[in-house]
Amino acid sequence: MSRIERLIQNYKRFLSVNPWDKQIAGAQKIWFAVYDKTDERKLRVQLDEFELATKAEGHTWKTVDVTNEFADWMASLEYREIYFENPGDLEMTLAEFEIHVGNRIKKELDSASENTVVAIHGIASLYAFLKVSNLMNKVQSSVKGRLLVFFPGEYEKGVYRLLDARDGWNYLALPITTQEGILSA
């Protein structure tokens, strides 16, 4: 069984044994599906399996692909040519980009019901431009159902590391991993 197949299997088990408490905090409604960064393409090919598993448990499914979010945002900027000439100047506007991505995700969360899994993929493409931890803090209050973040990186002893590169952070999100079993807490 491949790592992604094991992740799907663990997600199915996770869904079946975790009743949805509507009274918990937004941060506790966030799930990170943690997988090896080298498995990104394999995961994308099998995203439908996560949707099928979600629907089989009686929940609805909605995806948010943030892969092209930075390119689309850059293309919309009036002074984008200046940033291409002087990339260092872009750092001043990255806070605006983080707000932009947060607003995009919040919009999807706001239109979802308490029975919906909103799944974000393509998060690795945001690596150099924002911190996932900051993004989650911005959107957690908008989570009604569950937010599933496909997370290419590591989870160990309560610490998440995107792409195995950046310093990790502790976060309340529940991990779903490729390890044997449901969680690797």
DSSP string, 132-153: HHHHHHHHGGG-SSEEEEEEEE
Question: What is the pLDDT, as a whole number, of residue 144?
Answer: 94
Question: What is the pLDDT, as a whole number, of residue 184?
Answer: 44
pTM metric for this prediction? 0.89
Average pLDDT across each block of 10 residues of the chain; the chain has 185 residues. List them in order: 93 85 85 94 96 96 96 84 71 87 96 96 91 91 95 84 67 80 48
**Close Cβ partners of 96 (under 8 Å, ≥ 6 residues apart):** none
Question: What is the pLDDT, as a whole number, of residue 149?
Answer: 95
Question: Roughly what angle, to the nearest 10 degrees, separates helices 94-110 and 132-139?
Answer: 40
Question: What is the pLDDT, as a whole number, of residue 35?
Answer: 94
Between CA 26 and CA 35 the distance in angstroms is 23
Question: What is the pLDDT, as a whole number, of residue 136?
Answer: 92
